[in-house]
Amino acid sequence: MRLGLRKELEAIADDDEREERVRQATASAQENAKALNAAQLFEIDDVIDPADTRELIASTLSAAGVHELDSPRPRFVDTWYTASVPRR
């Protein structure tokens, strides 16, 4: 914070006033960094309360429905595969 405000802080002669300016700038940055403010800045549709996350994910997954996959073909494993064994 001090580096970003270096020129402004150098212009303030009183140490107490300078520290107060750093505190104000820090508080402002912390306020802007809160989740709701960040969501608004980056145009995020919704901010989920951490206490509601599990319920929201479960309801979203259940709304997606079930998609059954075809059973895969059995794999053929050649026990005589010798590609890595040098031929004589």
Structural domain includes residue 16: yes
pLDDT recorded at residue 84: 61
Whether pTM exceeds 0.85: no
Number of domains in the chain: 1
Distance CA 78, CA 84 (A): 13
Cα(38)–Cα(24) distance, rounded to whole angstroms?
19
DSSP per-residue codes, 18-29:
HHHHHHHHHHHH
Residue 68 lies in a domain: no
CA 29/CA 7 separation, integer angstroms:
18
Range of the domain at 25: 1-44
Residue 31: inside a domain: yes
Classify residue 53: in a domain, yes or no.
Answer: no
In the prediction, which pLDDT does 85 show? 60
pLDDT by position in tens, the chain (length 88): 888 999 999 999 999 999 999 999 999 888 877 777 777 777 777 778 889 999 999 998 988 877 777 777 777 777 776 666 666 6
Read off the tokens for 26. 């820090």
| CA–CA separation, 39 and 42 (whole Å) | 5
| pLDDT at residue 8, as a whole number | 92
In a domain, 56, yes or no: no
Residue 73 covered by a domain: no
Does residue 10 form part of some domain? yes
Is 87 among the domain residues? no
